[in-house]
């Protein structure tokens, strides 16, 4: 599909309609890549694609997406998991205050999302924040039987709908980037035909210092990246201003 439309789709996380809201172009989204059974190209456990907003009818790509192709001046900032209520709250405030677009991959088992639903729902509704399915409890899906894989995805899909108002999202991000044709097929059958991997990372699935996190951002905030970060540890909440500056340096700021 044409890249711009895909980006909007990624951003919006919707297959429905949309309207590009605001002028933020932080994020973008990506396309493509043949279906594969390989984990993410970069990055270790978990993490990221991201954000844009907008709403436009789209046909999301089917298969594995691990980077943004083509046109420069776009990157997608994705935020996974949500083990911390305080960090999720900070991300919501960051998005609302800066206009930056984010794509979230929440695990519904963490109460952080329910705790912050009132702040997040308007951002989802406007299209500034998109969401994808990251499973309910973050298992390695390739180790589960078919019924358990489906339950992990179905339960989180329903949670995204009822808690955050996410009507539909084509995106699913397998925890740890661990997937194969079997789990991809189950995800597609549940409405998620796009495997949203990443090709850049803040490295913050573990605890980092601010300097370490910013070093990762300097490395990966470049055109056509799908960068993964996490709403788990507080370090990232102390460097939002620096991240905005780096996005601006890359020509991808809101």
Q: Which residues bind Zn ion (CB under 5 A)?
A: 46, 80-81, 175
Residue 4 or residue 155: which is nearer to Zn ion going by CB? Answer: 155
How far apart (Å, rounded) are the C-alpha atoms in residues 187 and 35? Answer: 13
CA-derived radius of gyration, the chain = 16
Which of 71, 52, 69, 50 is CA-nearest to residue 231? 50
Residue 25 or residue 80: which is nearer to Zn ion going by CB? Answer: 80
Following DSSP, what letter does each residue of 94-161 receive, concatenated? HHHHH---EEEEE-TTSTHHHHTHHHHHHHHHHTSEEE-B--SS---GGGS-HHHHHHHHHHHHHHHH
Min separation Cβ 176 and Zn ion, Å: 7
Residue 98 or residue 237: which is nearer to Zn ion going by CB? Answer: 237
Min separation Cβ 164 and Zn ion, Å: 17
Min separation Cβ 80 and Zn ion, Å: 4
Min separation Cβ 107 and Zn ion, Å: 7
How far apart (Å, rounded) are the C-alpha atoms in residues 189 and 101? Answer: 28
How far apart (Å, rounded) are the C-alpha atoms in residues 113 and 164? Answer: 8
How far apart (Å, rounded) are the C-alpha atoms in residues 233 and 203? Answer: 11
Min separation Cβ 162 and Zn ion, Å: 21
Min separation Cβ 200 and Zn ion, Å: 15
DSSP letter at 238 equals: G
Residue 73 or residue 206: which is nearer to Zn ion going by CB? Answer: 206
Give Cβ neighbours of residue 138 (< 8 Å, ≥ 6 apart).
46, 81, 107, 109, 175
Residue 140 or residue 242: which is nearer to Zn ion going by CB? Answer: 140
Residue 106 or residue 254: which is nearer to Zn ion going by CB? Answer: 106
């Amino acid at each position: 599909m044409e890249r711009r439309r895909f980006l909007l789709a990624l951003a919006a996380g919707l297959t429905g309609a949309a309207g590009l809201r605001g002028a933020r172009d932080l994020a973008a989204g990506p396309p493509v890549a043949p279906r594969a059974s390989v984990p993410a190209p970069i990055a270790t456990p978990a993490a990221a694609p991201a954000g844009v907003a907008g709403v436009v009818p789209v046909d999301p790509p089917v298969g594995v997406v691990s980077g943004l192709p083509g046109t420069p001046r776009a990157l997608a900032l994705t935020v996974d998991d949500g083990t911390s209520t305080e960090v999720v709250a900070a991300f919501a405030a960051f998005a609302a205050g800066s206009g930056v677009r984010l794509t979230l991959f929440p695990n519904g088992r963490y109460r952080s999302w329910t705790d912050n639903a009132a702040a997040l729902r308007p951002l989802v509704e406007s299209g500034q924040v998109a969401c994808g399915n990251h499973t309910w409890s973050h298992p390695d899906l390739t180790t589960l039987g078919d019924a358990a894989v489906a339950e992990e995805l179905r339960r989180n899909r329903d949670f995204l709908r009822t808690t955050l108002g996410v009507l539909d999202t084509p995106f699913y991000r397998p925890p740890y980037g661990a997937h194969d044709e079997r789990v991809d097929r189950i995800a597609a059958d549940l409405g998620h035909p796009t495997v949203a991997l990443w090709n850049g990372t803040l490295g913050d699935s573990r605890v980092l210092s601010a300097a370490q996190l910013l070093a990762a951002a300097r490395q990966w905030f470049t055109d056509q990246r799908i960068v993964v970060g996490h709403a788990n540890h507080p370090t990232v909440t102390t460097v939002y201003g620096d991240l905005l500056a780096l996005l601006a340096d890359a020509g991808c700021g809101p």
